Structure 1
């Protein structure tokens, strides 16, 4: 059997590129000084009007979704956007009332949320938005978050991913508490709902015990779309088993193809899933200019301005559980013993940094410089140049679409006004919304209610 990329190559003409927009407000990792842009309000990260403006701009560009990232642990060294930002599901509920078609995806952790409460909030967002909600499932890499929830230490990797697996399965069962025709609401007969179509879950698993039912009906798309982002082996298995959208990063086409093949092969062979029911969207930086040369100059200027050495040093410790590297001698050998602080944090990334530093014989200064090393994005140039690059990645099955970071507002307006039309001219992107739900945008099926399906099979 060939790889999913090879198996489905013939379907290229039936595919549609997917686009997500990721607003970072006053500036996330690698862009500590983004807030100095006069077009960005100093309080953008807590300004709902700012987010409404960005979401409506993305919707005008026919984007599939807007994605709100999140974490719940900060230090004085955290990026400006992390220091002071709105809770994702609250924010997305507000955006739902100011938009009509674009998908609304928020990050919520399975490590520090009670399942019934979070499932209800996500289901509420899905109903408020008429079926446009998505959930980015995370296990929380910032180990310090445990202290905010009364724990002495963060869960280990196996526990984090075991909880996440059970959590998603539990969530989907709760969202099926009512069959789609349970609410009769017949004034003539006085029957409000059919009691036979309300289902008690009585879940008792390894990590959670929840009786149910959820006091909420299903939305037009059945369940919120489940997204996942994780590059460890456990993370890839979680994405392949339960993810419908996969957020990732890829430096080039071969890396993207390798990840694409791995995730879709795992989904198909290990978990018996249709690989077309996973949409893979790497996060990218797009910079547009009137010429390719001008765009590259803008990219270089933004990189130097938005990612200083001081900021890079201060945020360097995040994969290592926010270990404070500012107290080390910058010109001494890289302190490899610090890897232990990352064991319950973003360990895959911390291990990669440590091994590279040791193999290269780097000092701490050199390791930090490597993280801020100017890496040219493949997606810089005129709208035509960038459109060609995006289509090349998409046609090569390095991805199914892209998450475009919203940094400087003037640049994102050019994405909507110039890049989107260029993609439409190439037949790669929609010219209008043809669905009202996020599942519809992404080409994903509406999940059947498990109880109705079981009854139909038994009948």
Structure 2
């Protein structure tokens, strides 16, 4: 058994949804039912989050990139990807207008420090009464390096070594206070028990962090760890530290292989594989009929500007400039790329095999991950992947918002409930409870209790107690 269970102990679906302003599709901001300023419209985000909570989703998820998403002025000004909220600021605001849904945000282990991240997510967990989750990323864009005084991006395996140590330090900081160590005993004048405060004193390859954290232990013990990565290093990291892992599998067979692989890696590390949930991406467009759903998709694809269409193909198929080629003409001959060769082969093979124009290839590329259909056919897809052990749930990226989310909640969720696959209502209050994940017990790292006790009247007693959670 994995994931959330109902009263009969049955395996149940879990769902997250990505908050992406006016939607996840590159042209979503141009959709007539989406707010063009959705990226910075708090009321819009509140509406979407409350819709998803009405649908008993487990999570709202805010992705992040520490740079402008794209550097090409032919296409960047024609997208909404460069105008977004910082994740934890938005999630803190949403914590005040939601009650049960989990709040998951991205924070990079390459361009942050463990103390900052530990404190922010512990704060969000307290603000939300136990609904916080951290999406751990190592950052992939070299443009991020330039924003932090670095000439080059850290090498792939080095980023993952740093990430593993980063997570270890964050967890040790979350365990700075024992559960119940904060007493707030006004009669005795004792705010916390010094014996319940632990100083990690971490010194490793990448970080030296003394601690302790200046906030009490999060309600969940540790906010839930989310992660995405399909490389060898990424899968090993998921098996070691991940509790929910995102994946972009397109075919069920590939999803099943990925699912089995990361579960086996987790088991090999002594973990319960049921405590590592696998969430493929799902991008649904729902309508009453298949034809109406296809029409909605085509309406969205028609909104892709020519410059954006050209860039979508150009950045995928290789190192070439397509500006001199007509969009409604064939793809020219392509040389070997320094980028993803498997992706190049896939795209070029598709273009040649189906005789697609550059525009048609762009439309196929931007809409290729969408699942189009009626509530029943969308539910069929979800059920097949779930019962076939290709997924424990899904990370839903709605192509446009709020309409696509409302359609899913109002029509697909009831169908999944009728099939006994998804909860009728929330039965737990924390994100860990929703996902069927255990609450970690305190696991103090190396510490010097005598040192902490000696400082309790000075640094620990004077400074830490002032900042401990209210």
Return the TM-score normalized by structure 1: 0.86
Write the mapping of 1:226-305 to structure 2, written as runs, cut at 5 A: 226-269=225-268, 271-302=269-300, 304-305=301-302
User: Is the counterpart of residue 373 in structure 1 residue 358 in structure 2?
Assistant: no
**Structure 1: stretches of 5+ with no match in the other structure:** 6-11, 343-349, 455-459
Of 309-318 and 180-189, more deviation after overlay is shown by 309-318
1:314 aligns with 2:311: yes
1:120-150 residue CA offsets vs partner (Å, 9 max, x unmatched): 1111111111110111111111111100000
Q: Is the 8 A contact 1:26 1:45 kept in 2?
A: yes
Aligned to 1:445: 438
Instruction: Determine the C-alpha separation between the residues in 2 that align with 1:301 and 1:420.
Output: 24
Deviates more, 1:378-387 or 1:59-68: 378-387
Which residue among 20, 43, 59 is the counterpart of 1:24?
A: 20
The CA deviation at 1:54 is 0.5
Question: What are the residue-to-residue correspondences of 1:300-379 with 2, within 5 Å?
Answer: 300-302=298-300, 304-307=301-304, 310-315=307-312, 325=321, 332-337=332-337, 339=338, 342=339, 350-356=340-346, 370=361, 372-373=363-364, 379=371
Cα 1:417–1:159 shift into 2, 3 Å: same
**3-state SS of 2:15 partner:** strand
Structure 2 residue 45 is matched with structure 1 residue 46: no
Which residue of 384, 398, 410 maps to 2:390? Answer: 398
Distance 1:318 1:111, change over 3 A: farther
Structure 2 SS opposite 1:146: helix
The Cα offsets for residues 99-119 of structure 1, whole Å up to 9 and x where unpaired, read as 110000111111101211121
Residue in 1 that maps onto 2:162: 163
Q: Which residue does 2:102 correspond to in 1?
A: 103
Partner of 2:468: none
Q: For residue 385 of structure 1, what is the aligned residue in structure 2?
A: 377
Deviation at 1:314, TM superposition (A): 2.3
- Distance in 1 (CA, whole Å) between partners of 2:159 and 2:324 is 31
State how far apart, in whole Å, the 1-side matches of 2:320 and 2:219 are. Answer: 47
RMSD of aligned residue pairs (Cα, Å): 2.9
Corresponding position of 1:347? none
SS of residue matched to 1:336: coil
Match of 2:10 in 1: 14
Q: Is this contact kept in 2: 1:71–1:82, CA < 8 A?
A: no
Contact 2:351 2:357 in 1 (8 A): no
The answer on whether the counterparts of 1:309 and 1:372 sit within 8 Å (CA) in structure 2 is no
| SS of equivalent to 1:14 | coil
- Tell me by how many angstroms 1:261 deviates: 0.4
Please give the residue correspondences for 1:200-239 in structure 2 after superposition, counting only pairs within 5 Å. 200-239=199-238
TM-score of the two chains, using structure 2 as the length reference? 0.84
2:63 aligns with 69
Q: CA deviation at 1:187?
A: 2.2
Structure 2 residues without counterparts, runs of 5 or longer: 3-7, 448-470
Q: Could you tell me how far 1:235 is from its partner in structure 2? A: 0.9
CA 1:300–1:84: 2 relative to 1, 3 Å:
same
Query: For the structure 1 residues 64 and 361, does the alpha-carbon distance in structure 2 shift closer, same or farther, using more than 3 Å as the test?
Result: closer
Does the CA contact (< 8 Å) of 1:32 and 1:306 recur in 2? Answer: no
Would you tell me which structure has more helix in proportion to its own residues? 1
Q: What is the SS of the residue equivalent to 1:213?
A: coil
* Cα 1:142–1:93 shift into 2, 3 Å: same
Counterpart CA distance in 1 for 2:362 and 2:278 is 25
1: CA distance, partners of 2:437 / 2:348: 44
Correspondence list, 1:429-444, <5 A: 429-444=422-437
Distance 1:235 1:283, change over 3 A: same
Matched, 1:409 2:409: no
Contact residue 334 and residue 367 of structure 1 kept, 8 A: no
Take 1:154 and 1:391, find their aligned partners in 2: how far apart are those partners?
A: 40
Residues paired across the two proteins, number: 430
CA distance in 2, matches of 1:446, 1:378: 35
Q: Partner of 1:286: helix, strand, or coil? A: strand
Contact 1:316 1:325 (C-alpha < 8 Å) held by counterparts = no
